[in-house]
Structure 1
Amino acid sequence: MKKLTLPFLCFLFLFFQLDAQVTLDYYLPANVTYNSSIPTPESILGYEVGEWHVNHDQLVKYMEVLAEASERIKLEVYAKTYEDRKLLLLTITSPRNHENLESIKSDHVKLTDPSASVTLDTENMPGVAWMGYSVHGNEPSGTNASLLVAYYLAAAQGPEIEKLLDETVVLMDPMINPDGNMRFSTWVNSRKSMNQVTDPNNMEQNEYWPRGRTNHYWFDLNRDWLPLQHPESKGRIEKFHEWKPNVLTDHHEMGTNSTFFFQPGVPSRNHPITPQRTFELTEEIGKYHGAALDSIGSFYYSKQGYDDFYYGKGSTYPDVNGAVGILFEQASSRGHAQESVNGILRFPFTIKNQFATSLSTLKATHNLRVQLLDHQRTFYSTAKKQASADPIKAIVFGAEKDRSRLYNLAEILKRHQIEIYELSQQLNVGNNRYEPNKSFIVPLDQKQYRLIKALFEKRTSFKDSLFYDVSAWTLPLAFNLNYTELNTKTYKPQYLGKKIENLVRQKGKLIGGTSDYAYVFEWFGYYTSRALNRLHEAGIRVKVATEPFQAANGQKFNYGTILVPVSTQDVSQEKVTEIIGKIVEEDEIDVWSLQTSGVQSGIYLGSGSFASLRKPKIMMVVDDGVSGYDAGEVWHLFDQRFNIKVSMLSASRFNRVNLSQYNTLILVDGNYSGISGKGREKLKTWIEQGGNVIAMQSAIQWLASNGFSDIKFKKTTPDSLHLRPYATRSKYNGAQVIGGAIFETRLDLTHPIAYGYEKDLLPIFRNTSTFMERKKGAYANPVMYTAAPLLSGYISDKNAKKLSNTAAVCVSALGAGRIISFTDDPNFRAFWYGTNKLFMNSIFFGSIISSGSTR
């Protein structure tokens, strides 16, 4: 550690003891001159960085003014959020490089092409550093530091900065989550006292649910780098692959009583697909961070607590794309100042650390430039060699009766620059049949070989049993698609049809023309829920087939087929025809016209086995104690995918509201202690009168403990008699956590909860340790875990035994109402398309489940 001068120590003492506001000199490096024509943040914001929390509008204004004033900066909008806020990317480099930017970019991308990269001279190529700030909106030190980094790079003068910008292209994403930032900055700024209150219990330091961490729909954008379900992520990934940076920083915050963390993480938790050289470079870059923090007297740590396993995080995604990702975690003041075990932690100090490590990253990128460029070239050339040596040559995936899930997965792969081809001919492998117009094939011999392996692999063996995030994310399992790895014996190059350049979705078909009698469509398609909602919204009466039938035209229809009578509607035939046209055009499903109730076999169209469906009128309880992630997933699913309206009520509002205006209640994972005794009595009466409750994870335990359902759970018996070293407690306890893995369940395809599934085996994602006992009723357990259910990811042997043959979904009756209990989250992070249908079936078909089947 460098020796600290007495004046500097005195300054630190005064700063941490007083409510004094810092000046720009507090942040900026000493002995650097600055171009006076470049506006400082204060000159535009009206306050010094750290005095207030910058909001999105202010940040955009400053970056626009800065780009206008500096010939070193180019500013572009790469996407917009759900709330229509701009996402900015600043390209910062020397004026000379700006003149040749497209050529620099083109050469840099060539490093990822083994056939072109061999001729490149990395000694004379600029390095590319991507700086990403505050993906979590209530972790503000990063975004506020970006103001300083942008100013420094625009205004600093002298040979050192000029050389850095001549040999480096800096890509800055100053605010990754504008919607979350606006929630958080508004909260803390509006509750700031003139005399700073540092009490951790103070309102300023404790924002209200759902808080500013997440985006508009309450998603953690730092888990979306692989799934790519949100506009922020889609736009960012497009720019990432346009440039292929060498280093990417991801600036976060952690608990107030911590210090500062930078990667590497825990070595035993590195993903094995990532080359060892990536971690060596990460450690080498870390030396620069340590030196920078030492120089300003800041404490820090590394190689502990965090990992580099899940590729869906901002600091780990670069590792599987030939770059080096760096996670920074700064202890958070949450507001403007807060008491901690290390003294009063003030907002400007948190910004200073983020600024210091931003500059240390740029210094490292510049000094290690050739090594980083060579690493990128080697990453892709070795990927080519590994692909050639891999016995697996291609992966084929398809869906027999649902094109939409197939296309939605293909869209994600395309965004990750993975080459996809049409299947040229029918292929039978094992028990799976793949047809050309219902399947895609991905050859492994391409530059994204490692990423393809990461997205499609099923991994159940690990060096470590602790994970910072999920341990599995196998995409075809998440989409419930058939997929097969083709090896040297089963693969033929002629299977590759036309390369998919522009992914064009297939519309549905109206088979048999318009009808004045009835229309039917099967429930297999992903967007059938949107189609059914269209009919409900139009006031059209709808029925569902609870048994199969073969229509008079010879077409066979399965459980869950939707019947739309025409002649008996209150709306006009023209209106019905219009809605059917939209279903075919927009919901990607086929609709058949029928002219008679008569059938060749099975139930007649006029049979009582066609159950009438009611329009769901949905409420969801949200508020403090409820998982904002899970509630946001439901809101997003309804709002963005199926155009379904949901009323979100706080627990206090739920206690007062007249429940009769709703017929469906959703309780996601959470604590519902805010529902009062009178509220619980009211809820019980509402269910008994026909209310439909869909509950997930801990909510099912709340319902059972309050007497709403008869669900029972496997108890956890503590291993208290077994003696272990005290130092192993965290590792042992952590190994019992199911952080996120994929398991196999078996469906009763005749049950309304399972309508629309082709196969009786379904992969399900689980990240809880709630084990639901099988109900005694013969028909009350439509979804059960298999005897050995693990498909991909980690679970301890103890928990694997508990999970075996337990229920994943149970149905209980209470009077005329139903309670549908999910042990797991069927809407996880918006990319678990395969289990969305279970959840939607519980919404649409819960009320038709026979009470006799729940016992």
Structure 2
Amino acid sequence: MKKYISGALTALLMTTAVQAEKLEYFLENGVTYDQSVLKPDGFLGHGIGELPTRHDVFVDYIRRVAEASPRMTIETIGYSHERRPIVTLIITSPENHKRLEEIRANHLLRSNPETAKQAKDDMPVVTWLNYGVHGAEASGMEAALPSVYHLAAAQDEKTKKSLEDSVIVLTAVFNPDGHSRRAGWVLQYSSKKVNTNGAHEIHNHAWPGGRTNHYLFDLNRQWLLQTQPESVAWLKQWHKWKPQVSSDFHEMGRQSTYYFHPGVPTRKFPLVPDEAREIAYEIAGYHAQKLDGHKELYFTEEGFDNFYVGKGSTYPQVNGGIGFLFEAGAQMGLAVESRQGVKTYARNIRTQFRTTLSTIHTAAMMKDKLHDYQENFYLNADQEAAKDPIKGYVFKAPKDPARMDMFLTLLKRHKIMAYSVQKNVKAEGKIYEAGHSYIVPLRQSQYRMIKSMFGKFTNFPDNVFYDVSGWTMPLAYGLEFAEVKSSLRSVIGEHAEKASQNAAVPEVAPYAYVFRWSDYYAPRALNRILEKGIMARVAKNPIRVKTTKGVVSFDRGAIIVSMDRQTVSDADIHAAMVEVAAEDNLTVHSATSGRTLDAGTDLGGRDTVSDLSLPKPLLIVGSGVSVYDAGEVWHQLDHRMKMNVTLVRRDNLRRVDWHDFTHVILVGGRGTSSPFTKPQEAALKDWIRQGGTVIAQRGHAQWAAKELLGLKHKKSTEKKENRRLAYSVKGQEDAKHVVGGAIFKSAIDTSHPLGFGHGNGEVNSHRNTAYTLPVPTDAYAKVAVYAKAPLQSGYTSEKRLKEIAGTPMIVAQRMGGGSVILFADNPNFRATFIGTNKLFMNALFFSKAFAAEGRRGEEGHSH
């Protein structure tokens, strides 16, 4: 048998165990096990729960068990950013394996109202088990080891019957990269004698921790958003099987016991049927019975909700299934002191294993009820769609087919059908042109999912949210969209999965190359050009250009690459433009003259055109910086835009030469405190005056407004009330004036360089703080301002709405030769707010393409 840890290292690390738990500690009393099945203990080189299992060892173990077992098949469904495999086991009786595709095809009939009645009732239930979506919550992953062993080896009648009546889809590990960081940290700080003190380093994983994936995304928010390869892989597998029960295993704070759904009764997304909660409540009774039998503490219907549909336990509930969340009181290391005594890794794994079994057995036992529920879910959804006054949603992304492609891909992943518009549609006062617009009819099997993604929800029975309260996806993607309440029969065209066409190879330019800025990947193309040492300029006014194919009009932000004053050959410049067309799918036009058709807009202009330089951004990370915000910037620049970005921890800033960088990026952080020492602040201000740019978001935008720009809020004259409240309403009162992860509308100045590419003058951003930016004295510095009625989707109290309305969302102000750019919101939120990504990219490329009030331009003038 293969060993993964050397004998000497094993002997050292085995001493770290609090208790040398044998395999029998985890398994069911009275059950006989097939001794020929590979046991985890010897294969791992340590007992379950004695040490974290490395991902490669974990995958190899379950692969070997699956390949040897007639009850299991295994497939690799995808890879993480760091190329670690994500695998799925299909577990059922040997007899069911012989007709597996027949079972799956029959099962899927229930998820279509047109075929639901054709499904056979005597087929197995489909149960989904997902482990390890948060890498730091390791017992939720490690529980897959005894679970796989038990399902392969157990010989009791209860297990055999459950395998006959079930197809179990077990996916592990959801987050291989985060888990590997956590495992490495725990192994690094493992000692010969286990230290259970919570202050010990083993329990306090340094920034960024192991919760997130490579780019620091919380993958349990990705079921809806689908921007990460891990979530793309598992969602495809989920829809391949459309499970009736889905279980999601996690950990929570160490002072808690053990939690399982159905969650707080009032915190349910409106489109989740009431019957889903009733069935979840019934299933919860069997989990309680299981844990009661072992005298384990637990709680349910407290603390956790079923609202945001992008989580692993809620997504199933708008897709015809029942979702279950399990949370164990965490220990980061191997054992830690808590109010309930010492909590061990091994015990958490055992509890997660027990609820794994209660999930499997209960789903099998309730299969007839679950069949009926899934069938009725889709039949009822069809009836609701027929009665819905809204017949569909129409949408467009003017002059940005790449953004539309991304949205159509998102819909496809959620099994939502979209169609081209073959006849102009007028809806909500706008015209959606044929050939450039798309429509999603509501009368399809994914009715509830469509309403979840397109609907605007602003009224809630309970204002306490575990996550965001608003996620209207067309707003996030920056699309123009509207409800259509008339018949769709004459407007629906062909099924649409792609909006863009491959860009043509550009002709050799006699004078210059020009491409528009509104395309999503235009910043990537510009960066590609600048990295090659090719000079480029940006047009700050609309221009009409003579090209080899006639006159072409461009909005503000057009990128100009002339043949003049280049240090790169004409042939190399043309090759770069060919690459831009092929790799970034941009249409590059070949200009024949520098003289345009409008006065004062020539390609060589002084004030109307600005020279551009290659951004060299520094992103500050580390303690006090939001892991998520930092990861979103890193992902946007590195993964999407293929740009170099330097990540530096706050405690290493003393080693930084500011002049190596053009931009310093400060994302949200802990409060509004300074990320710098006083000497660093002074050096930063000098660097800005000499031409550097600071881009600050959310809390750090508050700091930058005050300390860098000297801006202050006007003092409020409001007096606090002398209130006395009952403690029983504390949860609701504390949440009353939060901004519950909502979407806000702003008016944007599209003539300002930071507004280039936003043609309709509106932008929707994600906001989950109550911070507001002070109003700058520079009248031109308010690039975007919240609307008078800014709330588009989600929860915000009336008090907060009044405070936010009319305040700046973006402030851009010159400071000497440099700039300070402030975002009240996060323009890169969860890599999903595609509509505001361009604002962030503009802040990088056009940070000095604007002038301060009272100055005509950067260069000055002589007479």
Please classify the TM superposition score into its range, dividing by the shorter chain length. Answer: over 0.9
Query: Residue 44 of structure 1 corresponds to which residue in structure 2?
Result: 43
Equivalent residues in 2 for 1:468-547, closer than 5 Å: 468-488=466-486, 491-500=487-496, 503=498, 505-509=500-504, 513-547=507-541
Give the SS at the match of 1:600.
Answer: coil
| Offset from partner CA, 1:775-798 (integer Å, 9 cap, x none) | 232101010001111111110111
Amino acid paired to 2:849? I
Query: Residue 782 of structure 2 corresponds to which residue in structure 1?
Result: 781
Q: CA deviation at 1:459?
A: 1.1
Q: Are positions 1:333 and 2:331 aligned together?
A: yes
How far apart in 2 are the matches of 1:714 and 1:770? 15
Q: CA deviation at 1:704?
A: 3.7
Q: TM-score, normalised by structure 1?
A: 0.95
Q: CA deviation at 1:595?
A: 1.3
Equivalent residues in 2 for 1:152-171, closer than 5 Å: 152-171=150-169
How far apart in 2 are the matches of 1:713 and 1:640? 41
Q: CA deviation at 1:437?
A: 2.9
How far apart in 1 are the matches of 2:521 and 2:787? 28
How far apart in 1 are the matches of 2:238 and 2:200? 40
Query: Residue 576 of structure 2 corresponds to which residue in structure 1?
Result: 579
Q: CA deviation at 1:713?
A: 7.2
Q: Are positions 1:245 and 2:246 aligned together?
A: no
Query: Residue 385 of structure 2 corresponds to which residue in structure 1?
Result: 387
Query: Residue 675 of structure 1 corresponds to which residue in structure 2?
Result: 676
| Offset from partner CA, 1:622-661 (integer Å, 9 cap, x none) | 1111111011001101111111110001112212221111
How far apart in 2 are the matches of 1:744 and 1:661? 37
Amino acid paired to 1:560? G
Question: Does structure 2 conserve the Cα–Cα contact (< 8 Å) formed by 1:714 and 1:802?
Answer: no
Query: Residue 591 of structure 2 corresponds to which residue in structure 1?
Result: 594
How far apart in 2 are the matches of 1:306 and 1:420? 34
Query: Residue 420 of structure 1 corresponds to which residue in structure 2?
Result: 418
Query: Residue 182 of structure 1 corresponds to which residue in structure 2?
Result: 180
Query: In structure 2, which of residues 427, 430, 441 is the aligned counterpart of residue 429 of structure 1?
Result: 427
Q: 1:435 to 1:582 in 2, by over 3 A?
A: farther
Q: CA deviation at 1:853?
A: 6.9
Query: In structure 2, which of residues 604, 607, 610 is the aligned counterpart of residue 606 of structure 1?
Result: 604
Question: Does structure 2 conserve the Cα–Cα contact (< 8 Å) formed by 1:456 and 1:474?
Answer: yes
Q: CA deviation at 1:703?
A: 2.3
Give the SS at the match of 1:769.
Answer: coil
Q: 1:405 to 1:718 in 2, by over 3 A?
A: farther
How far apart in 2 are the matches of 1:225 and 1:832? 16
Query: In structure 2, which of residues 278, 281, 302 is the aligned counterpart of residue 280 of structure 1?
Result: 278
Q: CA deviation at 1:715?
A: 6.5
How far apart in 1 are the matches of 2:449 and 2:119? 24
How far apart in 1 are the matches of 2:638 and 2:414? 26
How far apart in 2 are the matches of 1:75 and 1:768? 44
Equivalent residues in 2 for 1:201-240, closer than 5 Å: 201-240=199-238
Q: 1:784 to 1:510 in 2, by over 3 A?
A: farther
| Offset from partner CA, 1:18-66 (integer Å, 9 cap, x none) | 9322222221111100001101111211211011111211111101110
How far apart in 2 are the matches of 1:681 and 1:334? 39
Q: CA deviation at 1:566?
A: 1.7
Q: CA deviation at 1:576?
A: 1.0
Query: Residue 803 of structure 2 corresponds to which residue in structure 1?
Result: 802
Amino acid paired to 1:344? V
Q: CA deviation at 1:498?
A: 1.3
Query: Residue 7 of structure 1 corresponds to which residue in structure 2?
Result: none
Question: Does structure 2 conserve the Cα–Cα contact (< 8 Å) formed by 1:419 and 1:442?
Answer: yes
Query: Residue 761 of structure 1 corresponds to which residue in structure 2?
Result: 762
Range 124-133 or range 773-782, more displaced: 773-782
Question: Does structure 2 conserve the Cα–Cα contact (< 8 Å) formed by 1:812 and 1:854?
Answer: no
Q: 1:342 to 1:775 in 2, by over 3 A?
A: same
Query: Residue 30 of structure 1 corresponds to which residue in structure 2?
Result: 29
Q: Are positions 1:88 and 2:84 aligned together?
A: no
How far apart in 1 are the matches of 2:717 and 2:478? 31
How far apart in 2 are the matches of 1:545 and 1:669? 32
Question: Does structure 1 conserve the Cα–Cα contact (< 8 Å) formed by 2:711 and 2:775?
Answer: no
Give the SS at the match of 2:725.
Answer: coil
Amino acid paired to 2:49? G
Q: CA deviation at 1:814?
A: 2.3
How far apart in 1 are the matches of 2:610 and 2:118? 69
How far apart in 1 are the matches of 2:156 and 2:197? 44
Give the SS at the match of 2:192.
Answer: coil
Query: Residue 296 of structure 1 corresponds to which residue in structure 2?
Result: 294
Give the SS at the match of 2:490.
Answer: helix
How far apart in 1 are the matches of 2:674 and 2:37? 55
Query: Residue 13 of structure 1 corresponds to which residue in structure 2?
Result: none
Amino acid paired to 2:227? Q
Amino acid paired to 1:597? G
Give the SS at the match of 2:371.
Answer: helix
Give the SS at the match of 1:601.
Answer: coil
Query: Residue 347 of structure 2 corresponds to which residue in structure 1?
Result: 349
Aligned residues between the structures = 833
How far apart in 2 are the matches of 1:272 and 1:523? 40
Q: CA deviation at 1:593?
A: 1.3
Q: 1:585 to 1:718 in 2, by over 3 A?
A: farther
| Offset from partner CA, 1:582-629 (integer Å, 9 cap, x none) | 222232332221111222213111210211011101111111111110
Give the SS at the match of 1:157.
Answer: coil
Question: Does structure 1 conserve the Cα–Cα contact (< 8 Å) formed by 2:704 and 2:822?
Answer: no
Question: Does structure 1 conserve the Cα–Cα contact (< 8 Å) formed by 2:269 and 2:306?
Answer: yes
Q: CA deviation at 1:396?
A: 1.3
Q: 1:708 to 1:429 in 2, by over 3 A?
A: closer
- RMSD of aligned C-alpha atoms? 1.7
Q: Are positions 1:840 and 2:841 aligned together?
A: yes
Query: Residue 823 of structure 2 corresponds to which residue in structure 1?
Result: 822
Question: Does structure 1 conserve the Cα–Cα contact (< 8 Å) formed by 2:705 and 2:822?
Answer: no
How far apart in 1 are the matches of 2:717 and 2:132? 38
Question: Does structure 2 conserve the Cα–Cα contact (< 8 Å) formed by 1:109 and 1:244?
Answer: yes
Q: Are positions 1:851 and 2:847 aligned together?
A: no
Question: Does structure 2 conserve the Cα–Cα contact (< 8 Å) formed by 1:655 and 1:675?
Answer: no
How far apart in 2 are the matches of 1:430 and 1:186? 55
Query: Residue 552 of structure 2 corresponds to which residue in structure 1?
Result: 555
Gaps of 5+ in 2: 1-16, 857-863
Q: TM-score, normalised by structure 2?
A: 0.94
How far apart in 1 are the matches of 2:165 and 2:720? 58
Range 771-780 or range 313-322, more displaced: 771-780
Q: CA deviation at 1:436?
A: 3.2
Query: Residue 617 of structure 1 corresponds to which residue in structure 2?
Result: 616
Q: 1:394 to 1:704 in 2, by over 3 A?
A: closer
How far apart in 2 are the matches of 1:212 and 1:224? 17
Amino acid paired to 2:590? S
Give the SS at the match of 2:528.
Answer: helix
How far apart in 2 are the matches of 1:736 and 1:714? 20
Q: Are positions 1:97 and 2:96 aligned together?
A: yes
Question: Does structure 2 conserve the Cα–Cα contact (< 8 Å) formed by 1:687 and 1:818?
Answer: yes
Question: Does structure 2 conserve the Cα–Cα contact (< 8 Å) formed by 1:142 and 1:354?
Answer: yes
How far apart in 2 are the matches of 1:612 and 1:697? 30
How far apart in 1 are the matches of 2:274 and 2:852? 58
Query: Residue 731 of structure 1 corresponds to which residue in structure 2?
Result: 732
How far apart in 1 are the matches of 2:428 and 2:552? 28
Q: Which runs of 4+ in 1 moved over 6 A?
A: 713-718
Question: Does structure 2 conserve the Cα–Cα contact (< 8 Å) formed by 1:749 and 1:755?
Answer: yes
How far apart in 1 are the matches of 2:824 and 2:379? 45
Amino acid paired to 2:598? S
Query: Residue 369 of structure 2 corresponds to which residue in structure 1?
Result: 371
Gaps of 5+ in 1: 1-17
